[in-house]
A and B are shown apart, each in its own frame.
Chain A
Amino acid sequence: MNQPQAVHRADAGSNSDLPQLYRMMRRIRTFEERVGELFVRGQSAGSMLHLSIGEESAAAGVCAAMRDGDRFTTHHRGHGIFLARGADPARMMAEIGGKEAGYCHGKGGSMHIADMGLGHLGANAIVGGGIPAVVGAGLAARHHKTGAISAAFFGDGATGQGILYESMNMAALWSLPCLFVCINNQYGMGTRIDQATANPRLHERAQAFGLAAETVDGLDVEAVAEAGRRLVDGVRDGKPAFLVIDCYRFYGHARKDKSPYRDPGEEETGRAKDPVAFARAALIERKVLEESALDTLDAEVAAEMDATIDFTVAQHEPPLSSMFRDVYAPGEPEPEPVRTRIDRILARG
């Protein structure tokens, strides 16, 4: 179905979106740095923290092409995507810290964060686990004629999972408004993409299913945003698409992984592919923003993200009584705690 176009469209090559894209990428970078700090300060409930530093352009660029009402799922490295879809970083940080004030009241954490209001159908700790949900969301969007798209964000590791191909096939077969976004940070945990597949040209797989597919260099957030816009326009018209963003995972798989499987030379080269620094340099070079203005912007972002730590530290954990809540819908009996059951049985006659 044809839907009205998104209101704010920048022409390719214009500078008008770059300051916003830069700001979002800086927010993601700084947020992830603070997540690391939360962990170091012992305030993080989760030991499973996967940072998206080096991948900011994927989140900021693709999400710029999405609009209110669109739905999406993310993977275990999805903080940046949620932020770019409008998440409140303080509530995110609180969730990562396992606090009641978090998006999921401390039950989800980094890898199961979600917010229905923002269309976030959930991060996922199963590689590829969130992908088929966007097919269902696509069916719902078509059924209700909402004009919404649904986007699955995942890493290159998920290209090893069969469910990706099942889902792409269904989306193509049924012409659903689904976007598949593969953030190729070159590593599935400790295994480099060329050690996991004989054909690392990942977009070719989607082409085989009949999807519009392309690969874009994640160094340049404007290129990502432009590719995102191009594909999303088609997706809204029922032409599902697949976008690969090539980037580099700056740090280890999770917080404690020092990446001994990568040589320092490789990391140096990889980290030189820094989308945040690249955009900053472009803004200065094109005289869109002066360095001092960017410093101010960075300082604002740092203050915003510092506040998420202060907020999280001040929050309390969920009460123990919430443990049995939300296994089933409200109004359904809660499961009986083990201790209660034992006391009941032994208190007999």
Chain B
Amino acid sequence: MALQEMTYRDALRKALADSMTENPDVIILGEEVGRYGGAYAVTKDLIKEFGPERVIDTPISEPAIVGAAVGAAMAGLRPVAELMYVDFIGMTMDQLANQAAKIRYMFGGQIGVPMVLRTQGGTGRSAGAQHSQSLEAYVMHTPGLRLAMPATVADAYHLLRQALTKPDPVVFIEHKALYTLKEMVDLDAPAPDWGKAAIRRQGRDLVIVTYSRQVHYVMEAAKKLAAEGIEATVIDLRTLSPLDFDTIRTHVEKTGRAMVVSEGVMTAGVAAELAARISEECFDFLEDPVIRVAGEDIPISVSTALETGSVPGPQLIFESAMKLLSSREAV
């Protein structure tokens, strides 16, 4: 297959369809995944292709959706449970954190829980405080879970395909603002390794570590920085667990300066963990403090102005990098 233009949504759908064709044990279960086609249309028409026994519309029962996926995975299926919004993850946290994440360990390695929990999060649709959050820290804070957050169309496809071959439970968080993202992709080209970060851009002055939608904002900011003579390396983590810290380390050691960008709220978040690790592990190479550019420590508003202001965007990232670089020059 040659290069073709595809959306993030269609890449996800194709990943599900290809996995279901390849492996008859892959099933999908969740709210509105079948006849409705998915709240964000990712599973559109899959029920026609694979039937209602494999694309299962469920009642609005998030805990039991995840719990049933746990049992199905233990009994030999490869379930993809869909959680319509990551904001509902609190409803499912017992099944996810106490069951799925711990079963391999508690049972002495007898069995794993090879399930994928597909969900989406983030701002961008004025969806309000309970439908706009970035809750990946909850997942990253739970040993036993894997966490993938694709930023690109190709990664949406490859990471989901790979997630469906992994022996441990994978939480797969899409970004609601990326579904219409269109890129040219060749999905037959070799897939990047699972657990390996991508270098989206190389520069000598600082490293910006990010993931999911913020990758695009950071790239936009990096262009503006380049116009100011500042060259940034941009690292797209792709998966937060496993975390490719070696790539971060290599590039931070080269530039001596690091910024972490995350849409999730700052305090005790993913950005906090990444900044702490960079500070500890790259201490001798750092010329400045590691800067966190993260969501404000507030709920998300419906107002577009407040919503946009609550999370990092290209301008905040650009300004923060400029300040970081100029603080050095001032000394």
Identify the A interface with B (CB < 8 A): 71, 73, 102-108, 112, 114-116, 121-122, 124-126, 129-144, 150, 162-163, 166-167, 169-170, 173-174, 325-330, 332-333, 335, 345, 348-349
Contacts and interface: CB of A to CB of B under 8 A. Distances in A.
Interface string B225-266: 000000000000000001000000000000000000000000
Given A121-B71, A133-B74, A166-B63, A326 B95 contact: no
Interface stretch (B97-105, B123-131, B320-328): B97-105
A349 B71 CA distance: 49
A133 B94 CA distance: 12
Contacts, number: 161
Contacts of B99: 124, 126, 129-130, 133
10 contacts: A112-B102, A112-B106, A121-B75, A132-B64, A132-B70, A135-B64, A140-B72, A140-B75, A326-B104, A332-B168
Instruction: Point out which of B64, B94, B144, B166 has the most chain A C-beta atoms below 10 A from its C-beta.
Output: B64
Instruction: Point out which of B25, B71, B76, B112 has the most chain A C-beta atoms below 10 A from its C-beta.
Output: B71
A146 to B, nearest CB: 9
B144 A327 contact: yes
A216 B79 CA distance: 36
B77 A133 contact: no
Contact of A137 (B74, B105, B110, B146): B74
A108 B107 contact: yes
Interface residues of B, number: 49
A173 B58 CA distance: 9
B289 interface: no
Given A136-B67, A349-B284, A326 B75 contact: no
A137 B72 contact: yes
B172 to A, nearest CB: 17
A330 B105 CA distance: 11
Contact of A132 (B95, B111, B283): B95
Given A137-B71, A139-B27, A332-B168, A169 B59 contact: yes
Instruction: Point out which of A142, A150, A329 has the most chain B C-beta atoms below 10 A from its C-beta.
Output: A329
B71 A348 contact: no
Contact of A104 (B69, B70, B71, B107): B107
B309 interface: no
Interface of B: 25, 27, 29, 53, 56, 58-59, 61, 63-64, 66-77, 79, 94-95, 98-99, 102-112, 143-144, 146, 166-168, 242, 280-281, 283-284
A173 B59 contact: yes
Contacts of B53: 142-143
Contact of A103 (B108, B143, B280): B108
A131 to B, nearest CB: 7
A169 B68 CA distance: 12
A124 B112 CA distance: 16
Contacts of B109: 105, 325-326, 330
A63 B179 CA distance: 49
B72 A139 contact: yes
Nearest to A113: B107
Contact of B67 (A125, A133, A325, A348): A133
A126 to B, nearest CB: 5
Given A133-B99, A140-B77, A327 B68 contact: no
Contact of A122 (B69, B76, B79, B106): B106
Instruction: Point out which of A112, A134, A162, A170 has the most chain B C-beta atoms below 10 A from its C-beta.
Output: A170
Contacts of A106: 108
A10 B95 CA distance: 39
B64 A144 contact: no
Contacts of A174: 56
A139 B68 contact: yes
Contacts of A125: 98
A136 B70 contact: yes
Nearest to B59: A169
Contacts of A103: 107-108
